[in-house]
Amino acid sequence: MSVEQDLAKLRRLNSIVSGPLKFIISEVLEVTPLVVEWINVQTSGSAVCRYKTDNTRQYEVRYQFGNIGNLVHELTHVAVNESYRLDFINYPNWATIDLPNRDLDILGRCKNEDLRQTKQMSQAMNSAKSDTLMRLKGWTDAASELSAIQKTEISNKLVYGMINPHKESDTVLNQVLVWLFEWGFPITGQHVNKPIVNALYEELSTAVKLAYLEREKGKRYVRMNMPTV
């Protein structure tokens, strides 16, 4: 697989899906022109910003070629950074703090990003994000329609988000929503009782939409208040 094939698949998905899933696929497709280097990795992935002297940003994206969920996850990092401009923090927090200047390497990559993230974290927002992920894990554990492997993959990803909610909460929400769609959920047709996995999909879609709308608000705030950041 190649980046071009993966992006083409995302564009095809974008033409057939609706609701929150369409919101996030459209969002990540919009930021792809900012990616100047795509790197294939065997596990995990990352998005790294190159801060330029003219206040623009470019990105390196590492992901598992052929893995659309992983691609959406990493591009969500880019979308988050473009929305809030808070060193990849997954929520708005523009409180006045004693923040060190970015220490950049020769390519403009921030060497003290962890320190800046720590200073910009909100414990209240971390708790709120973690609570959402925990609630979704409860729905996952109860969804008998998911296979054991699917449950494990979703649960592990949600727990990963809970460990680092300040930088992984929105990314894992989007990734799991893509997974569920790729696996054929929600279940359609007439049912005596609504499938639990459908309730999971609805709860997840609501969380994804709320996070997406928050990022949209963040972009408007940045445009009005931080035009040169």
Are the beta carbons of 62 and 85 closer than 8 angstroms?
Answer: no
Rounded-to-integer distance, Cα 26 and Cα 42, Å: 26
Q: Identify the pLDDT of residue 88.
A: 98
Domain boundaries, the chain: 3-225
Q: What is the mean pLDDT of each run of 10 residues along the chain (229 residues)?
A: 96 97 98 98 96 93 98 98 97 87 97 95 97 98 98 98 98 98 93 94 98 97 73
| Cβ contact 204:173 at 8 Å | yes
Say how many CA atoms lie within 13 Å of 175 toward its Cβ.
27
Q: Which residues contact 99 (CB under 8 A, 6 or more apart)?
A: 116, 119, 120
- What's the pLDDT at 57? 96
Rounded Cα gap, residues 149 and 152, in angstroms: 5
- Specify the pLDDT at position 162: 98
The C-alpha atoms of residue 132 and residue 115 are separated, in whole angstroms, by 25
- Count CB-CB contacts under 10 A for residue 147: 10
pLDDT, residue 229, reads 41
Tell me, what's the pLDDT at 192? 83
